[in-house]
Structure 1
Amino acid sequence: MRPTEWLRVGWVNARNLGHWARDYWWAGLRLAGGAASWLLREDPADWQEAGAGTGIPVVLIPGVYETWRMMRPVASALRRAGHPVHVVRSIRLNNRDLATEAARVAAYVMARPGLDRFAVVAHSKGGLVGKALLLDPAIGPRIAVVVTIATPFAGSSWADFAVPGIGIRSLGPRSRDVRRLAAEARANRRIVALIPRWDPHIPDQSEVPGGRNIPLRAAGHFAPLGSAEVHRHVLAAVAAA
Structure 2
Amino acid sequence: MTSAHEPSDVDRPKASVLDRARWWAADYGYALRRQLAILSPPWSLGRRRRPPRAWRRDSSALPEVVLVPGVYEHWTFLRPLGDALAKAGHRVRVVHGLGINRRPIAATAAYLGEQLTTLPVHDAGRVLVAHSKGGLVGKHLLISSGTAHEAAAEAAAGGDPAEAAADAAPALGLLGMVTVCTPFHGVRLAGLFPDPSIRAFLPGDETIVSLGRDTSVNGRIVSVFGPFDPHIPEGSALDGATNVLVPAPGHFRVLKAPATHQAVVEGVAHLAQR
- TM-score, length of structure 2 as denominator length: 0.78
Alignment of 1:178 with 2:208, yes or no, is yes
Q: Is the 8 A contact 2:105 2:137 kept in 1?
A: yes
Alignment of 1:36 with 2:40, yes or no, is yes
| 1:1-241 equivalences in 2 (<5 Å) | 15-36=19-40, 39-42=44-47, 43-44=50-51, 46=53, 48-50=55-57, 54-115=61-122, 117-136=125-144, 137=146, 138=169, 142-165=173-196, 167-240=197-270, 241=272
1:68 Cα offset (Å): 0.7
Structure 1 gap segments, 5+ residues each: 1-10
1:29 Cα offset (Å): 1.7
1:239 Cα offset (Å): 1.8
1:37 Cα offset (Å): 7.5
Q: Is the 8 A contact 1:50 1:80 kept in 2?
A: no
Question: What is the alpha-carbon root mean square deviation over aligned residues?
Answer: 2.2
Structure 2 gap segments, 5+ residues each: 1-14, 147-168
SS in 1 for 2:46: coil
Q: Is the 8 A contact 1:133 1:139 kept in 2?
A: no
Question: Structure 1 residues 139, 92: CA separation in 2 closer, same or farther (over 3 Å shift)?
Answer: farther
Partner of 1:5: none
Q: Is the 8 A contact 1:54 1:83 kept in 2?
A: no
1:51 & 1:191 partners in 2: Cα distance? 23
Structure number with the bigger relative contact order (C-alpha 8 A, sep ≥ 6) is 2
Summarize deviations over 1:134-186 as a string: whole Å, max 9, x none.
10234787211200000000011111111143x11111111011000000011
Q: Is the 8 A contact 1:88 1:108 kept in 2?
A: yes
SS in 1 for 2:200: helix
Which is worse superposed, 97-106 or 138-147? 138-147
* Greater gyration radius: 2
Question: Structure 1 residues 216, 52: CA separation in 2 closer, same or farther (over 3 Å shift)?
Answer: closer
